[in-house]
Chains A and B, each alone.
Chain A
């Protein structure tokens, strides 16, 4: 369920179809994911998963997959694929 929530966050915040949200989708690889959208994503993810990112996490969240890794480190449980 958390995996779906993660993809929903990216889709909603970036304004892109859910099917475009894959683990290798990368920051700055599409015009919708610029620095302003990146900060909006951080706020959305923090609210959705009730976590607080460190600045290093924000700078290191370079792909959807990285976001999943960071959230897992912060205690969010993702179901096995």
Chain B
């Protein structure tokens, strides 16, 4: 198994890509700590718990600095270290440039960027004793290519790309690899909230002819977290079925 013996923390693990990553990591032998605001994360943890490897759920908001600190402290106390962090928690808000309120902009940056940076600060300190530490950040094709009607969301996801590239350089001497995944159009609850007209315009641009699944993304997360990617850092991998223009 690719992640046997690894302790992995996955945020936004109650549904969609986060839950798919948790399931894929469990299949590969990882010991999981799952976090989300929703109590649905308890069900995911229960589903993935085995007698050999209990999966633990922690409900909370990663924009709360104290929660993030306590989350990592509890992982370190229980397991002695952290091997893998998957920064998946995020929100999507649609709106034309002139119709996006300052509150919406702040909310996007708070959840998608600020929370990711704070959790990374704490988590990478707990990774320094890991034999194979890896951070996987979830950005978006909107962050690498831009998407009309999603300017603020695109900006928040582009910030993740910058943070990933800089973190990879700074943490490489410590052996901590930092990479990002940029999903295209993926069939999740979050994307289902976007208008049908917006999606219909984009599907013809997916050269593989279908919307992606959370499992399509989870496979790449397993790769990046595992030793198969032991010499891979500072990369942004598109998982978009050839949607990139």
The residues of A with any CB-CB pair to B shorter than 8 Å are 39, 42-43, 46-47, 50, 52, 54-55
In contact, B77 and A43 (Cβ under 8 angstroms) = no
Report how far A33 CA is from B46 CA in the complex, Å.
46
In contact, A42 and B125 (Cβ under 8 angstroms) = yes
| A54 / chain B contacts, CB cutoff of 8 Å | 65, 69
Residue B135 is within 8 A (CB to CB) of chain A in the complex: no
| A42 / chain B contacts, CB cutoff of 8 Å | 125
| B129 / chain A contacts, CB cutoff of 8 Å | 47
| B72 / chain A contacts, CB cutoff of 8 Å | 52
In chain B, what residue has the closest Cβ to A51? B73
In contact, A46 and B125 (Cβ under 8 angstroms) = yes
Q: Which residues in chain B, 35-67, are within 8 Å of chain A measured between CB atoms?
A: 65
Interface of A is mostly: helix
Report how far A68 CA is from B129 CA in the complex, Å.
23
In chain A, what residue has the closest Cβ to B80? A47
Report how far A39 CA is from B70 CA in the complex, Å.
19
Which of the residues A39, A47, A52 comes within 8 Å of B122, measured between beta carbons?
A52
Residue B216 is within 8 A (CB to CB) of chain A in the complex: no
Residue B101 is within 8 A (CB to CB) of chain A in the complex: no
Report how far A54 CA is from B70 CA in the complex, Å.
10
Of residues B65, B128, B129, which shows the largest number of chain A Cβ atoms within 10 Å of its Cβ?
B128
Report how far A52 CA is from B129 CA in the complex, Å.
15
Q: Which residues in chain B, 108-159, are within 8 Å of chain A measured between CB atoms?
A: 121-122, 125, 128-129
- Supposing A42-B125, A43-B128 touch, asked if A50 and B65 sit within 8 A by C-beta, the answer is no
In contact, A55 and B125 (Cβ under 8 angstroms) = no
A25 → B minimal CB distance (Å): 22
A-B contact pairs, 16 of them (CB 8 A): A39-B125, A42-B125, A43-B125, A43-B128, A46-B76, A46-B125, A47-B129, A52-B69, A52-B70, A52-B72, A52-B73, A52-B76, A52-B122, A54-B65, A54-B69, A55-B121
Of residues A42, A47, A52, which shows the largest number of chain B Cβ atoms within 10 Å of its Cβ?
A52
